[in-house]
Each structure stands twice: as C-alpha cells, then as structure tokens.
A and B are shown apart, each in its own frame.
Chain A
Amino acid sequence: DSGVTQTPKHLITATGQRVTLRCSPRSGDLSVYWYQQSLDQGLQFLIQYYNGEERAKGNILERFSAQQFPDLHSELNLSSLELGDSALYFCASDSPNNEQFFGPGTRLTVL
C-alpha cells in the first residue's frame, strides 16, 4: 500500500458524459501528479499540483481539468468523454527525495 488513495476504482460511462476522479496524496506530501495510461502504453503525464497551485502541465486535453483542495486531495475532471479517453488514470505524490508513489488507479471505460 503506497498510502495514495484513489476513488473510484472503476468507472463506466458513455460518450459525451463528464466524470470526476479523486485522489488523496500520502500524509505529509504536498504534490499530486496525474498520469494517463492507455491500453498497452506507457504513462503520460497530465498535470501536477503543489499545495493547491498548478505547477506543471503535460499533454492534457482542454476537456480535462484538475484542482487541488486545501486538504490536499485532488480531483481530475474529464468532460465530453470520447472512446479514446478510456484508460487507467493514476495519481501520485512524491517524497522529498523525488520518489513518486502511485495510487491504485481508476480504470475509466467510455462506451
């Protein structure tokens, strides 16, 4: 158990819909990173938050947005969903020595 939690574990929804993925970092960690893993692909960085502020952005679609709340949990919002958005979405938090610890992921299926 990495200490990073993600909910829900699975999401099945239809094209055009909107979903929210939730992540809580390890106790004491201030950063949250979101990654997307499509089928048989490596992980692609989406966005990073640090102590409530956006710090870095990757190839995140405009239909996707995220935020980090004062209690440091983060939410990733995916809207106008397309079939190609089906993927495993991970969040991670990092220790002071740059090790990133991953949550169990949310598997999103868009039908």
Chain B
Amino acid sequence: AQTVTQSQPEMSVQEAETVTLSCTYDTSESNYYLFWYKQPPSRQMILVIRQEAYKQQNATENRFSVNFQKAAKSFSLKISDSQLGDTAMYFCAFIQGAQKLVFGQGTRLTINP
C-alpha cells in the first residue's frame, strides 16, 4: 500500500526565514506524482507545487521549491522568505495515475511576525 509520512506535526519560524517541511512516501511504482497542498485557516485546499517522478529536476514555484530524492523516497518542501500568509497546514500527497490522492497527516506551520 502507498503511504505518505510527514514527521513534523508542527513547525514555527520567524517571518522572512526559510523553512523546510519533510515528507517521505512508500511505493513500488516508478511513475507517480507528488504534491504539496496548503490548507490555511479558511480550510480551502490549495495546490502549492507538483513533481513528476520521472523528472529529475526539482519543481519550483516562486518562493516554494522541492527537494525530490527518488531513491530515498523523500519529497521536502522549502519555503523561502516566509510570509505571514504562509501560516497553514501543509499536506504532502502522492498519486499514481488518475487515482486517489494519498495524503500525509500534515504539518502545521506558523509564521511569526
């Protein structure tokens, strides 16, 4: 079974700092996709970034970037120059094909002024 593990239940950093959220996953497949979703206090699920397993290059979206280590089955999210609006729950998720997303338990990130 595919599983996703986020080992940091909570993190807290100062505004403008860089923070890295960890995620590991387990699968026997070679083709899959990984995502980070953000859930702010409004509870809306917002797609932050996407990585295809067959691509070696790490995905980047503005201040958000990932460190994808396929052999280690690791997929961390780095947030640079953190802002107050980044305060949210962050979920790592895995998908293979047009199927369900498998989510980790989430990391609650607080950005302090």
Please list the residues of chain A having a beta carbon within 8 angstroms of any beta carbon in chain B: 2, 31, 33, 35, 41-45, 48, 50, 56, 58, 88, 90, 92, 94, 97-102, 104-105, 107
How far apart are B64's CB and chain A's nearest CB, in angstroms?
Answer: 15
- Taking residues whose C-beta sits less than 8 angstroms from the other chain, chain B's interface range is 20 to 34
Given contacts A41-B105, A42-B104, A42-B106, contact A31 B98 (CB under 8 A): yes
User: Can you name 9 A-B pairs with beta carbons within 8 Å?
Assistant: A31-B98, A42-B105, A42-B106, A48-B99, A50-B98, A56-B99, A88-B43, A92-B101, A98-B95
Q: Do the beta carbons of A101 and B98 come within 8 Å of each other?
A: no
Question: Is B78's beta carbon under 8 Å from chain A?
Answer: no
Contact of B33 among A48, A88, A98 (CB under 8 A): A98
Please list the residues of chain B having a beta carbon within 8 angstroms of any beta carbon in chain A: 33, 35, 37, 43-47, 50, 91, 95, 97-106
